[in-house]
Every structure is written in structure tokens, then in C-alpha cells.
């Protein structure tokens, strides 16, 4: 039976396709396919018309490959989406450095032939997983935006009311509002406080707390008032300065509200997935980090073993051996998903802060830390162990469910 290796170099809106057989036999020279209904249908008909078994390989880069891999999979063709790093590291066997879509398509086709027996069929994620992953990327984007807006507001307040952001450490509400931001909205300049008498400010602050539904503390009011006497402001207390503060507050509140909405939506979507109860029961995972983990890891059944999922996250320890030389401590590969590694580090940070004495991951990290291991060493080791436990528990639970 003929082996037809279909290499597809994916780009935005179009792809370059090359089809080879063993020993360099060319079935189809590189040709372009547009990501349209007619273009993809023509490609499917062309591949099915070729005699023999065909296997299609493409890189999973961004979201550009998804329309193509979806349609090809639904057409009952063997499709495998591989990590771009594998293609990049695949031997060129040439001294010339050629970088073009045609050359890349041929290279992917040669990789297909070389890895023929090791290729895994692409498994279409269901609609919920796709939505969850998209929401997580949006969540990450708006979190960065929120941080930028927060720093911007603090920078402006440092010129009108330095230290106003340090008076309260209450967590954000479900609507994204924060006490220190609401405080800065009303008391946007230090003169808004110290120009009043102590009793007048206490009464005004008490009414503000009641209106905003915050707990009132007279000692906190006195503390704020006394501190205001020593504060030096740079910008004057006028309408222009007030407008600057108002705009900064509105931008931060808008970003905070979007973040909290996405957090709720992600938890609702993740709760519909079968592994949700198992993931949420793990230490260090809450309603925010749990859905993020599920979004980035996806369906664990696509990983053949524990080492595959740690390699996907890039927290697997490397190996450096040559002859009698063997490096004892090798950095993590960091070749997988950066977003997943970030989420794993947040889980590890939560474990260190909560210190659950019955959790094997925390005990493992604590042991490494007591041995004097550097921060990134024990955090990466903990993330590796956590992923292995995650893989084992989720896969065991999914196998126990009726198909």
C-alpha cells in the first residue's frame, strides 16, 4: 500500500500543501489552498483520489489551523496537529537556509514520513472546550489590561493622594469593584479629606460606607484623616485633575468588570465538562484556576502517558548526557504551553500560601525548599508532580464513566 505524506504549512486564510511518498517520490508539488468552503472541499477530494493511505500533518499554530483540521477530520481523513517545535527541530539535511511556504510544506511532509507510525489522530475538542480555551485567552488579555490600568491609576493618585491605594486590601467584589478604587473616586484629592474637620470627615466617610455597602470602622476613618495631614500633593484640586482621576477610575472599573464576568463564564462552562469535580477537588485549585487548567490542558485522553502532559506544559526535566558525562541538574524544557506554565505556577503559589499538610504536592515542594533548592527549581518540580497527579486522577475518573 502506498504511503502518502501530506504536509500542510498553515498561515492566515490559506495554506501550502505538499504530498510525498517514501524515497523522495513527489505525488503533488506544493500548491496553495485557501481556507474557504470550496478550497477545503477541493483539497479533501484531491487527497481521497490518491491511491494508498494518506496521513496529514500540520502545525498547531495559533487558531489558523483550526478550520482546516476540523474539516479534514470530519471528512474521515487521518490528521495530526503537531507542536511547531518538532517541525523546526526536524533535520533539513542541507547547508542552504531556505525559508518559504513551499519549503516548509515539503519539510512537514518529510517529517510525516519519518514519524509515520508515531503520529496520533487529531481529536476534535467539543464546543465547550473550544469556548473555554478562547475565554481563557481573553481572560489573560484583560488581566494584563487590568494590571496596566491599576498601575496607571496609582501613578495619577501619587500626584493627588499618595498612598490612597494602600488603605484597604479588600478583595474585588463579584462585579469587579474594589474598595480602594471606590474610595479614590470620592476622595480623589487629599484636600477632600483634610479640608474637613475630623468629625465631619468621620460622618461623611460613614455615610459613604453605608451607601457603597462597605463595613465602617471609626478607627480606620481616624487613621485616614491623621495620615492626610502629612501628605504632599503635586496636582491642584480642580476640575481638570478630577477629570483625569475619573477617566483612570472608569478604565480600571471597566477592565475589572470584564475580568470578573469572564471568570464567572469560565467556571460555568468548565462545570459542564466531565472532569470538573475531580479538578476542583484538588488542593490549590479554585473557581478561577480550575477552569484555566482545564482550558489549557484540554482532553487528557489525547496524552499517551504522564510524560507527554508534562512535556506539553514544558515542565519536564531535560537530559544532558555525553559519554561518561551526565549533568545532574538540567533546566526544564519550557517548550510547551507558556499559558499553562503560568497557571501551574499560580497553583503552586496558592499551595505555598495555604500550606495544606495533607497534599502530596505541597509536601514535596516543602521538602525541596527545606533542602535549599532555588525558587524556580522547587516550583517547577511541584508543577511537574501536580500535572502527573492531575493526569492520573482525571484519566481514571473519565475511564470509570459510561461512554
- Say whether both 253 and 281 belong to one domain: no
23 lies in which domain range? 3-122
- The domain that holds 74 is classified in CATH as 3.30.420.10
Length, in residues, of the chain: 403
**Domain end call among 122, 156, 184:** 122
In-domain check, residue 231: yes
Asked if 102 and 33 count as a contact pair (C-beta separation under 8 A), the reply is no
Can you tell me the distance from the alpha carbon of 309 to that of 313, in angstroms, rounded to the nearest whole number? 6
Residue 128 lies in a domain: no
Say what angle helices 127-160 and 338-354 make with each other, to 10 degrees. Answer: 70
In the three-class reduction of DSSP (H, G, I as helix; E, B as strand; rest coil), residue 100 is classed as coil
Q: Domains in the chain: how many in total?
A: 3
Same domain (yes/no): 278, 258: no
Contact 7, 108 (CB under 8 A): yes
CA distance 305 to 387: 11
For residue 131, the surrounding DSSP H or E stretch is: helix 127-160
Q: Residue 120: its pLDDT value, please? A: 81
Evaluate whether residue 380 is within a structural domain.
Answer: yes
> How many CB atoms sit inside 10 A of residue 5's CB?
26
Are 246 and 211 in a shared domain? Answer: yes
* Same domain, residue pair 86 and 157: no
Residue 42 is inside which H or E element, if any?
A: helix 37-48
Rounded distance between C-alpha atoms, residue 329 and residue 320, angstroms? 9
Q: Are 82 and 59 in contact (CB under 8 A)?
A: yes
Domain assignment present for 42: yes
What is the 3-state secondary structure of 349-378? Answer: HHHHHHCCCCCHHHHHHHHHHHCCCCHHHH
Return the pLDDT at 304. 81
Alpha-carbon Rg of the chain, whole angstroms? 28
Residue 127 resides in a domain = no
**Would you state the pLDDT for residue 315?**
85
- Within 8 A by CB and 6+ apart from 269, the residues are 128, 131, 132, 135, 291
Domain's final residue, options 204, 239, 268? 268
Q: H or E stretch including 22?
A: none
If asked whether residues 281 and 261 sit together in one domain, one would say: no
Residue 76 lies in a domain: yes
Residue 124: predicted pLDDT: 59
The residue assigned the cell 480550575 is: 290
- Please tell me whether residue 231 adopts helix, strand or coil conformation: coil
86 and 8 in a single domain? The answer is yes
SS3 content of the chain, % helix, strand, coil (to 5): 60, 10, 30
At residue 314, the pLDDT reads: 86
pLDDT in tens, the chain (403 residues): 789 999 999 988 899 999 999 988 899 999 999 999 999 999 999 999 999 999 999 987 777 888 888 899 889 999 988 878 778 877 666 655 667 888 889 999 999 999 898 888 876 555 688 889 889 999 999 999 999 999 999 999 999 999 999 999 888 888 889 999 999 999 999 999 999 999 999 999 999 999 999 999 999 999 999 999 999 999 999 999 999 999 999 999 999 999 999 999 999 999 999 999 999 999 999 999 999 999 999 888 878 888 888 888 888 776 555 566 556 666 666 777 888 999 999 999 999 999 999 999 999 999 999 999 999 889 999 999 999 999 999 999 998 888 6
CB 189 within 8 A of CB 161: yes
Q: Are residues 326 and 201 in the same domain?
A: no
32 φ/ψ angles, rounded to the nearest 5 degrees: -95, 140
CA–CA dist 250, 149 (Å, integer): 9
Which pLDDT value is given to residue 260?
93
In the structure grid, which three cell numbers stand for residue 248, read together?
A: 483612570
Domain end point (choices 251, 268, 285):
268
CB atoms within 10 A of CB 224: 21
Cell of 112: 510525516
| Residues 142, 258 contacting (CB under 8 angstroms) | yes
Same domain, yes or no, for 294 and 382?
yes
3-state secondary structure 269-319: HHCCCCCHHHHHCCCCCCCCHHHHHHHHHCCHHHCCCHHHHHHHHCCCECC
pLDDT score of 84: 81
344: Cβ contacts below 8 Å, ≥ 6 apart: 293, 313, 315, 383, 386, 387
Q: What is the DSSP string of 152-200?
A: HHHHHHHHHSTTGGGS--PPP-TTS--HHHHHHHHS-STHHHHTS-HHH
| CB-CB contact of 58 with 66 (8 Å) | no
By DSSP bridging, strand 325-326 and strand 321-322 are antiparallel
pLDDT of the residue at 17: 94
Amino acid at each position: 500500500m502506498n504511503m502518502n505524506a501530506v504536509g500542510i504549512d498553515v498561515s492566515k486564510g490559506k495554506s501550502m500543501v505538499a504530498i510525498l511518498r517514501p524515497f523522495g517520490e513527489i505525488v503533488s508539488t506544493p500548491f496553495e489552498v485557501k481556507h474557504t468552503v470550496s478550497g477545503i472541499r477541493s483539497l479533501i477530494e484531491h487527497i481521497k483520489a490518491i491511491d494508498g493511505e494518506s496521513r496529514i500533518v500540520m502545525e498547531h499554530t495559533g487558531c489558523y489551523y483550526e478550520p482546516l483540521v476540523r474539516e479534514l477530520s470530519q471528512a474521515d481523513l487521518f490528521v495530526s496537529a503537531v507542536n511547531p517545535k518538532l517541525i523546526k527541530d526536524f533535520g533539513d539535511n542541507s547547508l542552504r537556509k531556505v525559508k518559504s511556504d513551499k519549503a516548509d510544506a515539503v519539510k512537514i511532509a518529510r517529517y510525516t514520513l519519518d514519524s509515520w507510525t508515531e503520529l496520533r489522530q487529531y481529536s476534535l475538542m467539543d464546543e465547550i472546550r473550544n469556548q473555554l480555551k478562547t475565554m481563557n485567552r481573553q481572560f489573560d488579555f484583560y488581566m494584563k489590561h487590568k494590571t496596566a490600568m491599576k498601575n496607571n491609576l496609582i501613578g495619577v493618585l501619587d500626584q493627588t493622594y499618595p498612598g490612597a491605594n494602600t488603605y484597604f486590601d479588600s478583595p474585588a467584589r463579584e462585579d469587579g469593584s474594589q474598595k480602594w478604587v471606590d474610595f479614590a473616586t470620592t476622595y480623589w484629592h487629599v484636600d477632600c479629606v483634610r479640608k474637613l474637620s475630623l468629625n465631619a470627615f468621620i460622618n461623611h466617610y460613614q455615610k459613604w460606607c453605608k451607601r457603597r455597602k462597605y463595613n465602617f470602622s471609626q478607627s480606620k476613618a481616624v487613621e485616614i484623616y491623621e495620615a492626610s495631614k502629612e501628605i504632599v500633593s503635586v496636582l491642584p484640586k480642580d476640575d481638570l485633575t478630577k477629570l483625569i482621576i475619573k477617566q483612570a477610575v472608569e478604565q480600571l472599573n471597566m477592565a475589572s468588570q470584564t475580568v470578573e464576568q469572564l471568570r464567572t463564564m469560565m467556571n460555568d462552562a468548565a462545570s459542564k465538562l466531565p472532569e470538573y469535580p475531580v479538578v476542583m477537588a484538588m488542593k490549590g485549585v479554585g473557581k478561577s484556576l480550575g477552569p484555566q487548567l482545564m482550558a489549557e490542558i484540554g482532553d487528557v485522553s489525547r496524552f499517551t502517558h504522564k510524560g507527554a502532559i508534562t512535556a506539553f506544559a514544558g515542565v519536564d526535566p531535560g537530559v544532558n548526557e555525553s559519554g561518561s558525562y551526565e549533568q545532574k541538574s538540567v533546566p526544564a524544557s519550557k517548550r510547551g504551553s507558556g499559558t499553562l506554565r503560568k497557571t501551574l505556577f499560580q497553583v503552586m503559589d496558592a499551595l505555598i500560601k495555604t500550606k495544606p499538610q495533607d497534599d502530596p504536592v505541597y509536601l514535596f515542594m516543602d521538602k525541596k525548599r527545606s533542602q535549599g533548592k532555588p525558587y524556580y527549581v522547587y516550583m517547577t518540580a511541584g508543577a511537574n508532580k501536580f500535572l502527573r497527579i492531575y493526569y492520573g486522577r482525571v484519566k481514571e475518573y473519565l475511564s470509570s464513566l459510561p461512554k
